[in-house]
Structure 1
Amino acid sequence: MSRTKKLRLRVYLGMLLAALIASLFFCTLYHYNNKYSQRTTQAINGLLILSEEDLSENPYRYLWNDWMYYPGVLLTPEDFSMGSPNRYMIYTDIDSSNRLSVSNQRKQARYGSGTYAMRIQLPDTEKSYAIDMPEVFSAYRMYINGRLVLSMGNPNPNAYRGATGKRLVTFVPDDDGTVDILIAVSNYTYFYSGITYPPAFGTPAALNYLRFFCQGLRLCGIILLLVMALVCLYFFRKLHLTNAGWFALLCLCMIGWMIYPLLHILKILPIFPTYWLEILFFYLTLFLLVFLYNRICGIPKWIAACSNGFAGGFCIGISLFYLLSPKLPDIAIEWASVFIAGDKLLLSGYLLISSFLMVRRRTDLHLLLYGSTFFACACIWDRIFPKYDPIFGGWFLEWVCIFLVCSVGISVWHFLTEGYRQGLLLEQQYRVTEKQLAMQTNYTQQLNEQVEIRRRFVHDFRHHLRTIHAMAEQTEDKAILQYLDSIEAYITPSSAASPTHSSRPAVDALLAYYETLTRTRQITLTLRFALPDKIPLSDVELCTILGNLLENAVEACERLPKPEERIISVKTSVTPLLWCMTVENTFDGVLQEQEQKHFRTRKSDAAYHGIGLSSVEHTVKQHGGTLDIYHMEKTFRAGVTIPSTK
């Protein structure tokens, strides 16, 4: 079997294994971490009877089954003083599809009022119990045994005020162990309405432990994301790695999405902009995931632009939809839910296909492929298991987004460590180069001093020869005259001195070296080089920029088979504010693109790939300059701009 076929088989098997693990994970969550699949005694026809054994085996349970529901009215305990009120009532389960105004089982409206009621019969013991109330949309009053124990916002339609929060209420049953729960709810602001998440009932110790564990688990995830964001921000500032900055922003958006359950416990919040911000952070997270996938996988620019535009446009559209949702009809809400589900499936398909195509030529992207597989499975199982509300942790998409963020983070970390390693290598090379250049500069200065001494000596000696020549002419000694003529011809320079391009000996020496090198390798080099009087670059930095750019240009030209095609041009321009230089060379049209906008050379030692351009960019940015790289079909151009000092 060929290496290519083995790689493809490995990719297929990896995807299959990831899909099986993801499916097993989500099925396990559904069956064992689901408020609706918890095996506890539930109410029947609005009555829940619990024994000592029930409470011992399950110290807490979620009340989702068979609530008595009175649509269209806000009832109080006085309405039940003479028994059940003479009102229309149905038995309903608590889930996210609930709506307040119910005309029949098929048609529901989200705006209006309603009252939920349940009676719990407990053992006749003097014990305290608690109810953990989730977010209820969007204002309610809660009565237990005729007493008002909790109020969130104002459900009165004439003075309506929406609010949201999570609260734990403790109470003691009546003497006979009876607990009558009455919750009057109104909603005129949100597209969810009424009680959509089941309340938890149990002992205060069990519910407090449950709260602590759930929110502690969420807090650990937020701290992990915050640490990753801070580390990436450090590397972004230190090494100027753009992907690190984008990943830090992704982590912060993920934190913004995940932190709201904690805020709901700490403080009562308004409906808007609380849930609008939560949704905005969620879709910003999805947008940044697509954006980083495109950058890491090296997706073609037009495909990346289309996918980024679609994800960003959907983020803006859904944000506007949530802002306008109070004024939209119910049919618009239903269609929006269809579009949202379709967007998630489309997004998962794009991530899966793009990472699958890229992993066949880049073996370091397997983790992104498996993350995409998890995301696709999450979207599918989320549609298969619609009645799911987690006890611990988050929803399917929260779990998979954390996995995706971690997989993207590992890929970004690979670039960070590689960039840091290159930075250390560059720093070491810089120190060695600085020492060598200092020694070379010192030697050049000594050599120039010796040349200047010789030039003065020759200049003075020629005057002495002319004096002796005049004296010999007076005595008409032809032998002496002939010998003097031969000496003068010997000491007369036969060729012009080497040209200088600047007032920097080290720079001139480097340019002279490449003039000689290009002649020996049959490369046409055009030099139009000048430096301003005041430029912030040292000799080491100038030689770093010139040396790396000219080395890459010579390396690229050597791959061209015909000498007449090998052309390098170095041009500079000087203005009162800027010094600009362009190094342009021909090449064979083959480029190896790496992270961000750089291109790797094709050196035999892979450890040095891309270091030259990184070194140039690092040096240029230290002085507030820019490095711009362009390429056409057969021409590569690097442009450097440095601000001049005043």
Structure 2
Amino acid sequence: MKRIKRILLTGAVPLAILLSSWLLFAFLYQTDNKYTQKASQPICGILSLSEKDLRQAPLRYLIREWEFYPDVLFTPQTFADKKPGTYRQYISVGQYGGMEAGNIHRSPHGIGTYRLTIQLPKGMRTYALELPEIFSAYAFYINQELKAQSGDPNPESYTPCIKEKTVVFQGEGTINLLLAVSDFSWIYSGLTYPPAFGLADAVINARENYLLIRMAALLLGFLGLILSLYLGFRAHWKKGLLYALQCIFYLGYTAFPLLHRFFATDVNPWYALQLFCFYAMLLMAVLLQNSLCQIRGKIAGIWPFICAAGTVAAFLTGICASRLGLTAFYSFSLLSAVLKYGSAVYLLIVSGVAVRNRRRFSLLLLYTSEFFAVSLLADRVMPLFEPIRGGWFIEIGGTGLMLGLACALCRDLGEAYKRSLTLAEEYRLMERQLSMQKEHYRQLTQQIEAARTASHDLRHHMRTLRTLADRASLPDIRRYLEEYEPHTEPRDVITYSNHPAADAILSYYAGVALRIHAEFSAVLQLPESLNIPDTDLCILLGNLLENAVEACERQTAGKRFVYLRGEATGRQLRLVIDNSFDGIITEREGRYFSSKRKGFGLGIHSVRSIVEAHGGLVLFEPGDQVFKASVFIPLK
């Protein structure tokens, strides 16, 4: 049964995640994609809209066949005077990365003019045009009127500035859109993302929905940051601090669309920081997965080093973008692919090795790594994708990866907290064991000292009795003996076990049982050579006996008792403890709740851990008024 379950978890489930993830991204590509939206598009620089078109699609994205005039900055007056006699081509938004417009011999930086004619249906209506991030300075005109400007596109006084803007206007009939753009600052240039156009309410509602989802993602990252910082510093939890760094980079990367929506910024250092945040997220994911999967040695440091170097290289590329050419940008594109796909493959390999080694959380990490890898593959296979409402494929995959790491870290923290409680309980028991042994030693010392004193005094008593005997004073001898006998009553130390440490614990709890008026009986015979460390044996006995006497103490009626029997028979150590209790016990799925604190009992958990660590078996059998604990541990 376990083998079948293992096959399902490592074979069928990953295959199902692969298929479902791919179907998810294919679904998003068709339903939440500006490039696949079912709406009429411009043809040869002209978009004709009818009443029916507006009813069917009140919002559309202007993607196809813009007129593009490279190396010139036109104004509407240029076209009013006469049609320009310069070179013109029709391009689609996203077709090229910059002003080179497909010409590998041209610089990605430069100037250019985009123009589009829209034929609106009759009747004045309120329309809106949303201008996305346009690199890196522009002037936007509707007909003859300047409607928006960001920075200064004039090459002689060039000033870059990035800010998303929404232009609202009323119109009918034919309108001309003209966008004059300059870029000498960034990797991308010109009109990189498609503008949204349509009825004002539709454009504004779509933007608000997008911003709402972005803010929800930011809130999620912020909560993760606060929680991981608190736990990281409070519990000295290094993984929590690493995850806090990842949340910081996630917030930095996710916040940039909001930043450019509400604030006008320069290109650098902001876009360089955005690049840095993205690749730093990959680096943090690799480091966290290494830690959770317990990857050690030089191999664990090779790819993180490559990621760190790539992150620095990406930041420097962004800072120096204004001085780089097309070859450098192609090289950076190659570096970006190596970092993204290499990290995905590395995460899959690490989680796969962890699954083979049966590490904790390995299956969860394998599933989320697979989801992230599929998002990268979808981004490669379906490149013409820009979300209308949600996030980019890589953002969705990265968010899934972060959530998977968060779940694994929460489980890791829970187990670490449980281990800390167990260690604290064991430390308390060890301190008690030490005090027991000290008390046991004190009693033995007192007995030895009393015996030495009695031996020393016996010479004097014998001399006195000899003198009285020489005098034949029998009455004096009898009187002397009567006075001497009360001082010679035996004061024995009861021994429960031939094992000194175990005997000390048994003696301690015998005294506790006496104080609560419980009958105590214990016999524990152990071999001279025992493969169980004294610390484990004492913690085992201490937890069992402490639970037993505490159960007796809570008992309000009936006889209180604690009986322990233990011996090594054959090649097995057998311990049986019977104790009375009040019959009240809270159990769930074989685990017992503590009567001293909320949650499950630590003592029983510690007993189970020690017994299972030595390949043994422990049984707890609650009866009506008697609780029985049996321990069986194989001996070497």
TM over 0.5: yes
Aligned partner of 1:32 in structure 2 is 31
Kept in 2, the 8 Å contact 1:101–1:109? The answer is yes
Q: Structure 2 unaligned runs (5+)?
A: 489-500, 509-523, 541-604, 614-636
Whole-angstrom distance in 2 between the partners of 1:422 and 1:523: 24
Kept in 2, the 8 Å contact 1:51–1:122? The answer is yes
Question: How far does the alpha carbon of each residue in 1:22-52 deviate from its partner, in whole angstroms, 9 at most, with x for none?
Answer: 1111111212211111111111111111111
Instruction: Give 1:400's match in structure 2, choosing from 397, 401, 408.
Output: 397
- SS of residue in 1 equivalent to 2:413: helix
- SS of residue in 2 equivalent to 1:312: helix
What TM-score, normalized to structure 1? 0.70
* Structure 1 residue 466, shift from structure 2 partner: 4.0
Q: Relative to 1, partners in 2 of residues 1:205 and 1:478: Cα closer, same or farther, differing over 3 Å?
A: farther
Question: How far does the alpha carbon of each residue in 1:74-128 deviate from its partner, in whole angstroms, 9 at most, with x for none?
Answer: 11122122242222211111116242245x7554421110111111111221222
The yes-or-no answer on 1:19 pairing with 2:33 is: no
Aligned partner of 1:274 in structure 2 is 270
Aligned partner of 2:68 in structure 1 is 69
Q: Relative to 1, partners in 2 of residues 1:524 and 1:290: Cα closer, same or farther, differing over 3 Å?
A: closer
Whole-angstrom distance in 2 between the partners of 1:267 and 1:327: 26
Kept in 1, the 8 Å contact 2:75–2:178? The answer is yes
Whole-angstrom distance in 1 between the partners of 2:127 and 2:343: 45
Instruction: Give 1:169's match in structure 2, choosing from 151, 167, 170.
Output: 167
The yes-or-no answer on 1:344 pairing with 2:322 is: no
Aligned partner of 1:469 in structure 2 is 463
Question: How far does the alpha carbon of each residue in 1:245-268 deviate from its partner, in whole angstroms, 9 at most, with x for none?
Answer: 222222222111111111111101
Whole-angstrom distance in 1 between the partners of 2:313 and 2:349: 25
Q: What letter corresponds to residue 338 of structure 2 in structure 1?
A: G
Aligned partner of 1:131 in structure 2 is 129
Instruction: Give 1:326's match in structure 2, choosing from 290, 308, 322.
Output: 322
Question: How far does the alpha carbon of each residue in 1:567-623 deviate from its partner, in whole angstroms, 9 at most, with x for none?
Answer: xxxxxxxxxxxxxxxxxxxxxxxxxxxxxxxxxxx988249999xxxxxxxxxxxxx
Whole-angstrom distance in 2 between the partners of 1:353 and 1:455: 69
Aligned partner of 2:99 in structure 1 is 100
- SS of residue in 2 equivalent to 1:126: strand
Whole-angstrom distance in 1 between the partners of 2:377 and 2:133: 27
Kept in 2, the 8 Å contact 1:128–1:204? The answer is yes
Instruction: Give 2:194's match in structure 1, choosing from 195, 198, 207.
Output: 198
* Structure 1 residue 461, shift from structure 2 partner: 10
- SS of residue in 1 equivalent to 2:201: helix
Q: Relative to 1, partners in 2 of residues 1:524 and 1:366: Cα closer, same or farther, differing over 3 Å?
A: closer
Whole-angstrom distance in 1 between the partners of 2:531 and 2:611: 24
Whole-angstrom distance in 2 between the partners of 1:524 and 1:352: 40
- SS of residue in 1 equivalent to 2:258: helix
Question: Which range moved further: 223-232 or 389-398?
Answer: 223-232
The yes-or-no answer on 1:419 pairing with 2:416 is: yes
Question: How far does the alpha carbon of each residue in 1:126-179 deviate from its partner, in whole angstroms, 9 at most, with x for none?
Answer: 222111111001111111121111111111111111111111111122xx5222
Q: What letter corresponds to residue 271 of structure 1 in structure 2?
A: V
* Structure 1 residue 180, shift from structure 2 partner: 1.4
* Structure 1 residue 279, shift from structure 2 partner: 0.8
Whole-angstrom distance in 2 between the partners of 1:395 and 1:264: 17
Q: Relative to 1, partners in 2 of residues 1:281 and 1:440: Cα closer, same or farther, differing over 3 Å?
A: same
Instruction: Give 1:313's match in structure 2, choosing from 309, 326, 336.
Output: 309
* Structure 1 residue 519, shift from structure 2 partner: 10
Kept in 1, the 8 Å contact 2:272–2:314? The answer is no
Q: Relative to 1, partners in 2 of residues 1:605 and 1:94: Cα closer, same or farther, differing over 3 Å?
A: same
- SS of residue in 1 equivalent to 2:134: coil
Equivalences for residues 109-508 of structure 1 within 5 A? 109-173=107-171, 177-362=173-358, 364-423=361-420, 444=439, 466=460, 469=463
Alpha-carbon RMSD: 4.5
Kept in 1, the 8 Å contact 2:136–2:161? The answer is yes
Whole-angstrom distance in 1 between the partners of 2:241 and 2:52: 55
Instruction: Give 1:521's match in structure 2, choosing from 526, 529, 542.
Output: 529
What TM-score, normalized to structure 2? 0.71
- SS of residue in 2 equivalent to 1:109: coil
Q: Report how many residues are paired.
A: 521
* Structure 1 residue 355, shift from structure 2 partner: 1.4
- SS of residue in 2 equivalent to 1:215: helix
Whole-angstrom distance in 2 between the partners of 1:550 and 1:137: 72
Whole-angstrom distance in 2 between the partners of 1:181 and 1:518: 95
Question: Which range moved further: 252-261 or 370-379?
Answer: 370-379
Q: What letter corresponds to residue 388 of structure 2 in structure 1?
A: I
Whole-angstrom distance in 2 between the partners of 1:607 and 1:135: 62
Whole-angstrom distance in 2 between the partners of 1:334 and 1:352: 27
- SS of residue in 2 equivalent to 1:382: helix
Q: Relative to 1, partners in 2 of residues 1:518 and 1:350: Cα closer, same or farther, differing over 3 Å?
A: farther
* Structure 1 residue 359, shift from structure 2 partner: 1.5
Whole-angstrom distance in 2 between the partners of 1:87 and 1:608: 87
Aligned partner of 1:497 in structure 2 is none
Whole-angstrom distance in 2 between the partners of 1:106 and 1:9: 50
Kept in 1, the 8 Å contact 2:137–2:161? The answer is yes
Aligned partner of 1:58 in structure 2 is 57
Kept in 1, the 8 Å contact 2:268–2:318? The answer is no
Question: Which range moved further: 276-285 or 9-18?
Answer: 9-18
* Structure 1 residue 317, shift from structure 2 partner: 2.3
Whole-angstrom distance in 1 between the partners of 2:396 and 2:122: 42
- SS of residue in 2 equivalent to 1:69: strand
Q: Relative to 1, partners in 2 of residues 1:517 and 1:208: Cα closer, same or farther, differing over 3 Å?
A: farther
Whole-angstrom distance in 2 between the partners of 1:469 and 1:40: 125
Whole-angstrom distance in 2 between the partners of 1:121 and 1:549: 89
Whole-angstrom distance in 2 between the partners of 1:317 and 1:253: 17
Kept in 2, the 8 Å contact 1:7–1:360? The answer is no
Q: Relative to 1, partners in 2 of residues 1:479 and 1:385: Cα closer, same or farther, differing over 3 Å?
A: farther
Q: Structure 1 unaligned runs (5+)?
A: 492-505, 526-545, 553-601, 611-646
Aligned partner of 2:583 in structure 1 is none
Aligned partner of 1:90 in structure 2 is 89
* Structure 1 residue 203, shift from structure 2 partner: 1.7
Whole-angstrom distance in 2 between the partners of 1:273 and 1:517: 75
Question: How far does the alpha carbon of each residue in 1:510-532 deviate from its partner, in whole angstroms, 9 at most, with x for none?
Answer: 9x99xx9999436999xxxxxxx
Whole-angstrom distance in 2 between the partners of 1:119 and 1:273: 36
Q: What letter corresponds to residue 605 of structure 1 in structure 2?
A: R
